[in-house]
Structure 1
């Protein structure tokens, strides 16, 4: 009985804290975020009408490296269509196991790939893997929840491959990334199509074009390419709006 009372009191405290957080947030007109009771796969934090999903931990590395990924997603054609040259500097935000980073590296032999992740296990893996593969132009970077921690005015292309929807602080991340992009730098979002219910991905891990445009435009970017060649994902290229 004592354990039951303690459990009920714990649940009450959790609910009370969430309600207080939501109430405090609603009174803060400067905050871009709202709060709600978390969905099954969400964190209860809402940005411009979209609940942010839980981050996939590095324990899911094997899923990123699955043999079927090329057939399912068409990674090769995505990389073939990246707006880069041999001297481009690319930032792979949320690089994970480096699935994209190490495939892009040979294409920017005179440039660089910043493989950014917030998880120590991923950053350590990226460092070790780049040494194993002999890619001197792949630099592992420990990012934070609000910043990719990249140098200013240095990036030609920043890519988010099935990652943007997991950003805990999307507005802060985009604003800090904006500083790191060159004047003609671009952002690429590759996201599972939220408009298509047949795409076998959890709803909060998908995005619609409309929602992506809403969030990027709110942070000073405009959609310049909406390519339709991927099987189950969007290929959306944004660049800075003229100031």
Structure 2
């Protein structure tokens, strides 16, 4: 009984602490983020009117590697339309199991793919998988919640495949990624279509074109391609605005 009381007290203190943290942040006029009661699949943190979703843990690796993914999403078509050359340096942000990284690697035979993830289990898996496949131009990188931890002025294309909506600090991530992009570097967002209620994905794991443009434009990027060829996802290419 005593342990139960202690556990309940711990939960109360923790929830009060989070509430105070959220309240203090929501009152910070300099912060780009607001806070609210978390939705079922959200973290209660809001950026430019959009609640950020929970991150999908590496335990979901099998879902990323499911046999039906090609038929459902048209991955080959997405990769075929990537703005890359054999010399390109690509960053796969939130690479997870490397589903895209290892399929892109042969197309940049004179370049490389930085497979970036914040989860240690993912980075370890990517390193191990690279060795198993004998692929030398996929480089696993441990990113953080605010930065991909990539070299400056080195990236031709950074891709976020069903990942951007999960970024805990999207503004900081975009600003740090901007430094890593070459002057003509691009960002690609592949996101489930938020405008389409028939897409069978949880609402916070989808995005609209309007919301994506709002957030990327606020961080110095402009939409240069809105591909309409994927079955249930947007294919949105952004590049740096001229300063």
Same fold judged by TM-score > 0.5? yes
The count of aligned residue pairs is 243
Match of 1:149 in 2: 149
Match of 2:173 in 1: 173
TM-score (norm 1): 0.96
- 1:193 equivalent to 2:219? Answer no
- Offset from partner CA, 1:136-178 (integer Å, 9 cap, x none): 1110101011100000000000000000001111111000000
Match of 2:236 in 1: 236
2: CA distance between counterparts of 1:196 and 1:61? 26
Shift of 1:53: 0.6
1: CA distance between counterparts of 2:100 and 2:46? 28
Secondary structure of the corresponding residue to residue 76 of structure 2: helix
TM-score (norm 2): 0.96
Secondary structure of the corresponding residue to residue 84 of structure 2: coil
Secondary structure of the corresponding residue to residue 200 of structure 1: coil
Structure 1, unpaired ranges of 5+: none
Match of 1:164 in 2: 164
Shift of 1:9: 4.2
Name whichever of 226-235 and 8-17 sits farther off: 8-17
Secondary structure of the corresponding residue to residue 60 of structure 2: helix
2: CA distance between counterparts of 1:107 and 1:2? 62
Shift of 1:14: 4.0
Shift of 1:21: 1.9
- Offset from partner CA, 1:176-223 (integer Å, 9 cap, x none): 000000000000000000111110000110001011011111110011
Q: CA 1:10/1:37 → structure 2, altered by over 3 Å: closer, same or farther?
A: farther
- Offset from partner CA, 1:54-105 (integer Å, 9 cap, x none): 1111110000000000000000000000000000000000000000000000
Match of 2:101 in 1: 101
- Asked if structure 2 preserves the Cα contact closer than 8 Å seen for 1:164 and 1:189, the reply is yes
- Asked if structure 2 preserves the Cα contact closer than 8 Å seen for 1:21 and 1:35, the reply is no
Alignment of 1:11-30 (within 5 A): 11-30=11-30
2: CA distance between counterparts of 1:187 and 1:168? 18
Secondary structure of the corresponding residue to residue 104 of structure 1: helix
Secondary structure of the corresponding residue to residue 90 of structure 1: strand
Match of 1:202 in 2: 202
Name whichever of 15-24 and 31-40 sits farther off: 15-24
Shift of 1:18: 3.2
Alignment of 1:86-125 (within 5 A): 86-125=86-125
- Asked if structure 2 preserves the Cα contact closer than 8 Å seen for 1:148 and 1:173, the reply is yes
- Asked if structure 2 preserves the Cα contact closer than 8 Å seen for 1:54 and 1:166, the reply is yes
Structure 2, unpaired ranges of 5+: none
- Offset from partner CA, 1:33-71 (integer Å, 9 cap, x none): 111111111111111111111111111000000000000
Match of 2:129 in 1: 129
